[in-house]
Amino acid sequence: MPVVAYVDGEFFTDISQAKVSIEDRGYQFGDGVYEVIRSYDGKLFGTQEHMARLDRSLKEIELDLPPGMDIDAVTAVAREALARSTFASALIYIQVSRGTVPRDHSIPEESRSTLVVTVRPFTPATQEVWETGLAAITLPDQRWLRCDIKTVNLLANVLAITKARRMGFQEAILIREGVGVTECSRNNLFIVKDGLCLTAPRSNWILTGITRNFVLRLLAENNIPYEETFFDKGALLAADEVFLTGTGNEVMPITKIDEQLINEGQPGPLTRRIAELFREFVQKSI
């Protein structure tokens, strides 16, 4: 089945035909922002939340949508791309960059933003993988000071996940000097200690995940105690349970960190419950 791509008003079924200029500022400066939305049963999940975050990211870097487009128009493109793909389970990637202008660092007075959307089939982790949980390595958080903006500048994340994988781990847990454990290279992070869930607070140090926010809402609704606070590596390694959250992974246990097993290498009971609550929530929402 073809991957669907969209570039500035045109849909493509052959992704190699979908092209952007070498002078696009997204390519030259990483001057752009993005979103990734998941579809379940052919329906987008969390659209409003993802689009609100895209809108915020755009505003934070003073980037306009292409002329004549607003957030609703971008949502319509994402929906149409998904419908054209015919994929039931897909990841919809949406990127806005500052367009094609002769290379100069400062934001140009005038430019026409580039909107790119791709839809790729997505196979979620199997139950067997979930039951095994992921192994994560701790690494220094080397990102910039505005991790709250979902920009296409992902070099520090790229280097972290690459290092993790080369060492045989599936995720990197990032630790910011003087701050504490922030999140993972591509997911947010939660720990559980004595029945209390902890996750880093909404701040410039993390990308505030849509999945994270839904999980916090579910914790509140189900009277599961939680705190949004930074914690250090000692607390991470001493946790009863650790799990990550993200659009693709939903709620996924981490059962090994560095060389240490968490909960004897098994998904913990609270992780199991929260994952179940999240799956029910998705089914109710789509």
User: Which residues are known catalytic residues?
Assistant: 150
Tell me which residues in 40-69 interact with ligand PLP (CB under 6 A): none
Which one of 2-10, 110-118, 206-214, 233-241 is the stretch in contact with ligand PLP (CB under 6 A)?
Answer: 206-214
CB of 145 to ligand PLP, least distance (A): 14
Q: By C-beta, is 4 or 252 nearer to ligand PLP?
A: 252
Which one of 57-65, 164-172, 242-250, 261-269 is the stretch in contact with ligand PLP (CB under 6 A)?
Answer: 242-250
Task: Report if residue 247 touches ligand PLP, rule: CB under 6 A.
Answer: yes
Give the residues across from 97 on adjacent strands.
32, 114
Q: By C-beta, is 39 or 100 nearer to ligand PLP?
A: 39
CB of 220 to ligand PLP, least distance (A): 17
Half-sphere exposure of 155 (CA within 13 A, CB side): 7
Give the residues across from 36 on adjacent strands.
93
CB of 97 to ligand PLP, least distance (A): 17
Q: How far apart are CA 209 and CA 213, in angstroms?
A: 6
Q: By C-beta, is 113 or 211 nearer to ligand PLP?
A: 211
Q: How far apart are CA 280 and CA 185, in angstroms?
A: 26
Q: How far apart are CA 61 and CA 63, in angstroms?
A: 6
Q: How many residues line the site for ligand PLP (CB under 6 A)?
A: 14
Site track for ligand PLP across 210-229, x = CB under 6 A: xxx-----------------
Which amino acid type is present at position 40?
Y
CB of 273 to ligand PLP, least distance (A): 19
Tell me which residues in 120-159 interact with ligand PLP (CB under 6 A): 157
Half-sphere exposure of 141 (CA within 13 A, CB side): 25
Tell me which residues in 172-191 interact with ligand PLP (CB under 6 A): 183, 186-188
Q: How far apart are CA 161 and CA 278, in angstroms?
A: 25
Q: By C-beta, is 47 or 100 nearer to ligand PLP?
A: 47
Report the b/e string of 27-61 with b at 16+ CB within 10 A: bbbebbbbbbbbbbeeebbbbebbbebbbebbeee
Q: By C-beta, is 97 or 245 nearer to ligand PLP?
A: 245
CB of 194 to ligand PLP, least distance (A): 25
Residue with tokens 């109710």: 284
CB of 47 to ligand PLP, least distance (A): 12
Which one of 71-79, 112-120, 230-238, 240-248 is the stretch in contact with ligand PLP (CB under 6 A)?
Answer: 240-248
Q: By C-beta, is 5 or 156 nearer to ligand PLP?
A: 156
Residues that bind ligand PLP (CB under 6 A): 36, 157, 183, 186-188, 207, 209-212, 245-247
